[in-house]
Amino acid sequence: MVNTSLNAVIVDNDLESASLLKEYIHKTNHVELAGSYHDIDNALNHSSFLKPEIIYVDIHMSGLREYDNLARISNLCKHLIIVSHETKYAIEGYRYNVYDYLMKPLSYESFSRSFNKLMSNSQLTEPDDMELIAAANGAGTATSDLSMNIYEEEEHVWIKCDKKIYRMWKQDIHLVEGLKDYIVIHHKGKKYVTHLSMSLVETYLGRKHFIRINRSCIISKNSIIAISGNVIETTLNKEMVIGIRYREKVRMLYAGFRT
């Protein structure tokens, strides 16, 4: 069972937004407010010894829009979450290991979905615990529709691997496999290993051209040759088993056709 709370820091000079974040943190289980700051210098100085797991930061604060201090802030926490009223900074923010992106005006629904997703991807929780956390926080564990919309229409993703950030066209990604702490991306015949969660990669890839078929596998729909029972035959010369909880989603791929 979960017995640990995460520490969170707010960096936002928008008083209304900061007040809402404080309210949401106080009403959410398994997260505690460690500090709230209205300027970058104080946030950097205090976060260095507070060592928060989560930092919520307004990208429009002075010094952040040009990403001068965003990299420094991201190194002070495990999960950096941007708060903004514009979506245009979402893709660029990924370069700085931004975990999630909350749009203003803030709502508790989007906040709790983001936090539940974070908890489900962390090693602090077991699968059974997540059902309790999600129920207590009043939202499901699925990735928010907003996050999906931000990346869905992008034709490429940025992936950090071996100290480089690679731009990968989605049409050239065939398969994503999950390991214990890493994922393997099959791109143009090569394998790229990176430290990301399956849920986060699922968000970046979107659902239009990709489908998750089990806990440790996301496949390009164009890589599917045939489906036989609970097994998928692929262009990668390998067969993949469809997980129980994912079978209905796979079935929907051909549900509209007469079979």
> pLDDT tens across 14-45, in order?
999 999 999 999 999 889 999 999 988 888 88
6-149 topology per CATH: Rossmann fold (3.40.50)
171-251 topology per CATH: OB fold (Dihydrolipoamide Acetyltransferase, E2P) (2.40.50)
Cα 195 to Cα 250: distance, rounded to the nearest angstrom: 27
The whole-number pLDDT of residue 103 equals: 86
Ranges of residues in the chain whose predicted pLDDT is under 50: 1-3, 66, 125-136, 139-149
State the residue for tokens 């919520």.
56
The whole-number pLDDT of residue 202 equals: 86
As annotated, the residues of the chain forming the CATH 3.40.50.2300 domain(s) are 6-149
Write out the two tokens for 52. 């928060």
Q: How far apart are the first and last CA of the chain?
A: 45
Q: What is the dihedral of CA 150, 110, 102, 210, to 10 degrees?
A: -30
